[in-house]
């Protein structure tokens, strides 16, 4: 509110949200009481009732859904907050781990286990990270719902469980390595989002491709070869079999499965960026595109008139888009 918003306004980030749908009592009643995603049969019924073509009704519902989403300014402020946190905690983690013997020799994670002292710096690192992921898990229900809501919620549950479990069982040394490794890519991702909201397309593209490289190298390369290797093999060699080992490793493997899913989405987006010359729309985008659903329903044979049965017609058209008497093919 006091830092991110002035920065956003200084960078000329738009404060207005998505375009609002034209007021329409009948469609509003359907939207609020029946469905936000009408099927083909309902669309055709509304088309006959309002004398609108199907595409215009689809467009109205899309605009109505989008108008509840936050503005670019709000999203910029959220990304700036996350960028600030990730940058701070990643820097803190690197500075802390540079002083530890287990950064370059992961077998040191198990020396003297479980009688390893809990250093104040390590305790602070853990508590701050745990607090942040708890906040993400709860705020996800009041933030915009993205397409991978279920995957992200699973990720937050696994992360909070991992941090808590490793803290309780004193598996904190390898936990610090895992936390620092995961924060590296998130810093670049939030920076790429901010550049996109500022309409710095070239910078956004560069940061996104950098994020893709950092994410894939860290999550599909370093994580399994460094973290999973020590928890699956070195831990077993050093301490033998015990129940916490299996619980800990199951949670880490679930995290790796999520990494593979996200890497697929990132590689797909990166491929589009290279083939088309710019970064494609994020698959997790919260704002629906102008053509999301328009091809799923056949066009109405008769374009609607600007004079409608419920009195919403005007010189500006029935849904805030049209300026003439018909819905043009180009539009």
Helices (H), the chain: 4-10, 25-33, 40-50, 54-66, 72-97, 120-139, 149-168, 172-197, 201-216, 229, 235-239, 243-276
Name residue, tokens 């600007």: 306
- Helices 243-276 and 201-216: crossing angle in degrees, nearest 10, is 150
Answer whether residue 288 is part of any domain. Answer: no
**Residue 44: which CATH number?**
1.10.10.60
Burial class (CB in 10 A: 0-12, 13-18, 19+), 64: buried
- CA-based nearest residue to 39, from 18, 58, 19, 66: 58
Answer whether residue 77 is part of any domain. Answer: yes
61 and 100 co-located in one domain: no
55 and 104 co-located in one domain: no
Which pLDDT does position 323 carry in this prediction?
36
Answer whether residue 204 is part of any domain. Answer: yes
88 and 62 co-located in one domain: no
Q: What range does the domain containing 101 cover?
A: 72-278
Answer whether residue 326 is part of any domain. Answer: no
pLDDT in tens, the chain (331 residues): 788 888 888 888 877 666 777 788 888 888 888 888 888 888 888 888 888 888 888 888 888 877 777 778 888 998 999 999 999 999 999 999 999 999 999 999 999 998 999 999 999 999 999 999 999 888 887 776 666 778 888 889 999 999 999 999 999 999 999 999 999 999 999 999 999 999 898 999 899 999 999 999 999 999 999 999 999 999 999 999 899 999 999 999 999 999 999 999 999 888 887 777 655 444 444 444 443 444 444 444 444 443 343 444 433 343 333 333 333 333 3
Q: Which string of DSSP letters, residue by residue, matches 258-296?
A: HHHHHHHHHHHHHHHHHHHSSPPPPTT-SS--TTTTTTT
Q: What are phi and psi of 218, to 5 degrees?
A: -75, -40
149 and 39 co-located in one domain: no
100 and 225 co-located in one domain: yes
The three-state secondary structure class of 56 is helix
Answer whether residue 296 is part of any domain. Answer: no
133 and 169 co-located in one domain: yes
134 and 264 co-located in one domain: yes
The structural domain count of the chain equals 2
Picking from 259, 278, 297, the residue at the C-terminal end of a domain is 278
């Amino acid at each position: 509110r006091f830092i991110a918003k002035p920065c956003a306004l200084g960078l000329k980030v738009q404060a207005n949200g998505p375009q609002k749908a034209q007021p329409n009592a009948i469609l509003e009643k359907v939207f609020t009481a029946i469905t936000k995603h009408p099927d083909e049969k309902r669309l055709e019924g509304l088309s006959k009732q309002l004398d609108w073509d199907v595409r215009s009704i689809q467009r109205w519902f899309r605009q109505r859904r989008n108008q509840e989403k936050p503005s670019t300014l709000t999203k910029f402020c959220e990304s700036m907050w996350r960028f600030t946190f990730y940058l701070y905690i990643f820097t803190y983690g690197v500075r802390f781990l540079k002083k530890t013997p287990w950064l370059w020799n992961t077998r040191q994670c198990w020396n003297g286990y479980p009688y390893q002292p809990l250093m104040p710096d390590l305790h602070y690192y853990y508590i701050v990270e745990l607090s942040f992921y708890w906040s993400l898990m709860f705020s996800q229900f009041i933030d915009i719902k993205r397409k991978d809501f279920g995957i992200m919620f699973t990720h937050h549950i696994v992360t909070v469980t991992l941090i808590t479990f490793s803290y309780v069982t004193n598996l904190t040394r390898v936990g610090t390595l895992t936390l620092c490794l995961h924060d590296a890519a998130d810093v670049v991702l939030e920076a790429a989002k901010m550049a996109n909201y500022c309409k710095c397309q070239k910078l956004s593209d560069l940061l996104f491709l950098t994020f893709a490289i950092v994410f894939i190298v860290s999550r599909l390369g370093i994580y399994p070869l460094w973290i999973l290797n020590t928890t699956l093999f070195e831990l077993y060699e050093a301490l033998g079999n015990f129940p916490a080992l299996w619980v800990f490793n199951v949670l880490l493997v679930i995290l790796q499965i999520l990494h593979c899913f996200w890497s697929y989405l990132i590689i797909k987006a990166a491929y589009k960026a290279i083939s088309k010359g710019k970064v494609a729309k994020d698959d997790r985008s919260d704002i629906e595109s102008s053509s999301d659903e328009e091809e799923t329903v056949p066009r109405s044979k008769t374009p609607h008139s600007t004079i409608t049965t419920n009195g919403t017609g005007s010189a500006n058209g029935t849904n805030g888009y049209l300026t003439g008497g018909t819905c043009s093919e180009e539009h």
